[in-house]
Amino acid sequence: MRWMRLKEISIASCKDVPFRSQKYLVPSGNEELFLVEGTIPDADVIDFGRLTCRVSRLDEEAREWVVVSDLGDRVLFIGEHGNVSCSGKELPDGCGVSGNSMLFTDWPGHEIYFCKYGVETEYAEDDLNFWRLSREYGASVLNKSPPVVALRIED
C-alpha cells in the first residue's frame, strides 16, 4: 500500500453540516486500512453516550470500503496525535483492553470508554448494528505526550 501524510488539515467545526461525522483512518500494519466514522445524533446538548461508529475495511481489489462488525483480535486506538491498531495479544494480561474493540483517547475531561459492536443502550429506538461506547471498563488518560498515550484502566 502507498500512504501519504497530509501536510495541513483543517480543524474547523462542521456543526452546521447535516449528517456530519468524524472520520478516522487507522492502519493495521502494512496490509489493512480501516475507516472509522463516528456520529453523534443531532440534539440540543451533545451527548457522547449516543455516539455511534461504523467501521469499514478497505478492499483494495474491489476498490471499496466493506463494513465490518468484528475486528478479530485487533484493538483500534484513535486520537488527535494519530491512530494505530495492534493485536489485543500484544497488550499486557489483565490490562482490561481486549481485541475486537476501539478506544478514543481524546474525550473531554480525559475520560474514555471502549467501543464494542452491538452494545445495547437505554433507547429502544437505537440500532444495535453499530459500534457504541461500552461501560464494561472505564479508562482515564494519564499522559498524552506524543507519541505516547498512557491510560489507566478501571474495572
What's the gap between Cα 101 and its chain centre? 8
- pLDDT for residue 29: 82
The average pLDDT across 136-153 equals: 62
pLDDT (mean) for 133-154: 64
Higher pLDDT, 134 or 94: 134
Residue 17 has pLDDT above 60, yes or no: no
Domain membership flag for residue 64? yes
Domain count, the chain: 1
Residue range(s) defining the domain that contains residue 69: 22-154
Q: What is the pLDDT of residues 99-115, one digit of tens each?
A: 888 888 776 665 666 77
pLDDT, tens digit (0-9, with 9 covering 90-100), for 51-76? 788 999 999 999 999 999 999 999 89
β-strand 74-79 against 131-143: which pairing, if any? unpaired
Specify the residue for cell string 467501543. Answer: 115
Does any domain span residue 16? no
Interval 23-35: pLDDT, tens: 889 998 888 999 9
CA 22, 103, 3, 65 dihedral sign is: negative
pLDDT at 71: 92
Asked if residue 13 belongs to a domain, the reply is no
Determine contact, residues 55/35, Cβ cutoff 8 Å.
yes
9 domain residue, yes or no: no
